[in-house]
Structure 1
Amino acid sequence: MGIKKILKINANLPISKEVVISIIHTTCLVNSKLNDVLKPYGVSLQQFNVLRILRGQNQNPVTLSTVQERMIAKMSNTTRLVDKLAKKGYVEKKINKDNRRKIDISITNEGLLFLEEISKLIDSTEKDIISSLTKDEAYNMIRLLDKIRLIANK
C-alpha cells in the first residue's frame, strides 16, 4: 500500500516529499518491530547497537566517542545507554590509563552471551522484514539508499 493511502493524504505531493515521508514512516515501522523483539529482554535498539559495536572490538576497550561515531542513530545520550548496560552487567567501564578524563568501555562475557542470544532473534526479524523482496531488489534498495545518504550527509 502506498504511503499516501496509509497516511490518508489526498493532496498531490511532490515526489521528493513522498519519498522522504515514505522513508521516515518505514524507518519508524522497522524500529518499532525490532524494539518489540528486544523489549522482553529489557534493552532498546540503541543499547543493542552499543553491544554490537563493543563486540566488534574483539575485547579491546573503546572510548565513548568511538561508540558514538559508530552508532547507527547518532545521539547525545550514549553515556546513559552505556550506564544502563553497565548496571545490567553487559559492559564494563574503566578510567583510561593514558587520559584519566576518558572512560574505556568494553563488553563483558555476560554481555557477549546475551548478545549471542538476542542476535538470533534480531537476525530472524530482519529477514522477516525484507522477506517480500528478492535478493536483487534488496541490493537495489541498498544502492538507492546509499545514493540518498550521500546527499543527506552533505
Structure 2
Amino acid sequence: MILENEVGIKSFRNEWQKASVSILYTYGFLSNGYETFFKRHNITSQQYNALRILRDQHPKPVSTSFMREKMLDKMSDASRLVSRLSAKGLVTVTQNPADKRLVNILISPVGQELINNIDADLGELDNLLKGLTEEEATTLVHLLYKVRESINAADEKTITTESINA
C-alpha cells in the first residue's frame, strides 16, 4: 500500500507492474540526488559519465560512437554532450586522421583535474543507498541485472516477432 499512496495509483495489475513502477519512481529519487551532487561541480551526471569514460581510455582518444556505447544513459546525445564539454574546456576534439567523418575525443588536463576533484567526494553518492546493508546492495545489483536480462529478452522477442510479421 505504501507505493500505491506515494505514486497515487489505486491498485496495480500485478506485481510485475508494481515492480516496474517502483523502479521508475526510485530512479527519479536517485537521479535527483546525482544531479544535485554534480551540479555543485557545474556539470551534469551525463557529463561526468562521459569524462569518466574518457579518463579510463586516456591517452587513447575515443569516438562519439564508442562513448555512446559506454554511456549509462543510452539515450544520451553524445555529439551534443561532447560539444558542451568542449565549450567548458573539459575535452579536446580533433578530426580523426584516418576517417575524416569521425572525431577523436580526449579528456583535457582541466577535465582530468575536475574529475579527480569530484572523485574525492563520490562517497557522498554512496550515502543515497546507505539505508541498505552491503548484502542487500549486492542482492539489489543481482536483481537489477536479472531485470536487464528480462528486458533484453523481451526486446529480442519483439524484434523477432516484428521481423516475422513484416
TM-score, normalised relative to structure 1: 0.93
Taking the aligned partners of 2:81 and 2:104, their CA distance within structure 1 comes to: 14
Q: Which has the higher contact order (CA 8 A, sep 6+)?
A: 1
Instruction: Return the offset for 1:76.
Output: 4.9
Hey, what does 2:159 align to over in structure 1?
none
Return closer, same or farther for 1:36/1:8 CA change in 2, 3 Å cut-off.
same
Alignment match, 2:31:
31
Q: Which residue of 2 aligns with 1:117?
A: 117
What percentage of residue pairs aligned between the two structures are identical?
A: 29
Structure 1 residues without counterparts, runs of 5 or longer: none
Report the TM-score when normalising by structure 2. 0.87
User: In structure 1, what residue type is equivalent to 2:114?
Assistant: F
* Distance across 2 between alignment mates of 1:118 and 1:3: 34
Give the aligned CA root-mean-square deviation in angstroms. Answer: 1.5
Alpha-carbon separation, structure 2, partners of 1:48 and 1:2: 34
Q: 1:12–1:85: structure 2 CA closer, same or farther, 3 Å change rule?
A: closer
**1 CA distance for matches of 2:18 and 2:80?**
35
> How far off is 1:38 after superposition?
1.3
Task: From the superposition, tell whether residues 138 and 76 of structure 1 become closer, same or farther in structure 2 (CA, over 3 Å).
Answer: closer
Residue 144 (1) aligns with residue 143 (2): yes
State how 1:24-103 maps to structure 2 within 5 Å.
24-103=24-103
> Could you tell me which amino acid in structure 1 is paired with residue 14 of structure 2?
P
Moved over 4 A (4+): none
Q: SS at the partner of 2:120?
A: helix
